[in-house]
């Protein structure tokens, strides 16, 4: 950093300082391919074709190495929405736990508890300590202790998230999602209210479709029929979703089966 003389780096000679040295490395074609490959395989799919990487390397340079516009381009690409990508990645504990809370409307309900004069950086522990603690414990029991990887190599992603122990935690997650928690109701209270409101007008088939839509899971017909029979076995929608308490029990039973399915583990 204190040597301002001329130096030859990667075949180019100049009076490099630390910043320009790092800039040379950052803009090197090998660095671009490595960064693009890592981002692509994390957010899209494994083993992309060389021509796919070359395509996104151009986007990488076009955005001057900025990650945000690169990821926006990736999310809008044909590759991201192809059959090779959609529904092929195993959900990490964060994807599974936090993702389902978002899908079921817990975010706005949690934000509503924040004091109106609170700063954005102010902790939510005072108004949601129990829920935050349970979310952290569940992710930790699934193998991801947030900010604390088990060693310097970090977590092992993909199918490594799925073990006997972690699957039991995923199946149990429905109990937290649909169990009332005092005056605030269940974390998925918004879903329960919708289910109760429709109990006299929708069929079991429509209820199953609604649940799958909430959690963005695609099931083959034979597996959907298993969930339909579960609702019918509880007296059909008129009884299974007659009120909040009964609906909560019905949703726990439905999601216990759903969360155990291979399809629910993928995104």
Count other C-beta atoms under 10 Å from residue 1's C-beta. 7
**Residue 195 or residue 128, greater confidence:** 195
CA distance 227 to 204: 8
Report pLDDT for 129: 78
Report pLDDT for 184: 83
Output the six-digit token pair for 75: 């999310």
| DSSP-assigned letters across all residues of 81-104 | TSTTTTT-SBPPHHHHHHHHHHHT
- Which pLDDT tens digit goes with each residue over 44-75? 999 999 999 999 999 999 999 999 999 999 99
Give long-range contacts, CB 8 A cutoff, 24+ apart: 149-157.
Answer: 155/92, 157/42, 157/90, 157/92
Distances (CA, A) of 130 to 45, 116, 141, 209, 219: 36, 21, 16, 31, 33
- Predicted TM-score of the model (pTM): 0.84
Q: Is the pLDDT of residue 201 over 90?
A: no
Q: Is the pLDDT of residue 1 over 70?
A: no
Confidence of residue 2 (pLDDT cuts 50, 70, 90): low
CA distance 135 to 122: 19
Report pLDDT for 122: 84
**What is the residue whose two structure tokens read 């994807």?**
95
């Amino acid at each position: 950093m204190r040597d301002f003389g001329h130096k030859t780096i990667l075949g180019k000679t100049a009076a490099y300082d630390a910043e320009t040295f790092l800039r040379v490395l950052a803009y090197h074609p090998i660095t671009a391919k490595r960064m693009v490959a890592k981002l692509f395989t994390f957010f899209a799919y494994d083993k992309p074709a060389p021509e796919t990487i070359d395509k996104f390397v151009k986007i990488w340079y076009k955005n001057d190495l900025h990650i945000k516009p690169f990821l926006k381009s990736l999310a809008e690409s044909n590759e991201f929405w192809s059959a090779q990508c959609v529904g092929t990645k195993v959900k990490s504990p964060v994807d599974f736990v936090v993702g389902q809370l978002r899908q079921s409307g817990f975010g706005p309900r949690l934000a509503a508890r924040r004091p109106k004069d609170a700063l954005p950086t102010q902790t939510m522990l005072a108004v949601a300590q129990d829920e935050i603690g349970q979310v952290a414990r569940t992710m930790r029991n699934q193998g991801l202790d947030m900010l604390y990887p088990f060693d310097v190599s970090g977590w092992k992603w993909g199918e490594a998230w799925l073990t006997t122990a972690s699957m039991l935690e995923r199946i149990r997650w429905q109990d937290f999602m649909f169990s009332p928690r005092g005056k605030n109701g269940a974390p998925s209270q918004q879903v329960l209210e919708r289910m109760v409101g429709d109990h006299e007008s929708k069929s079991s088939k429509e209820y199953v479709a609604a649940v799958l839509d909430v959690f963005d899971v695609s099931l083959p017909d034979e597996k959907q029929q298993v969930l339909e029979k579960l609702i019918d076995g509880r007296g059909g929608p008129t009884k299974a979703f007659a009120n909040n308490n009964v609906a909560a029990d019905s949703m726990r039973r439905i999601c216990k089966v759903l969360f155990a399915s291979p399809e629910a583990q993928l995104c």
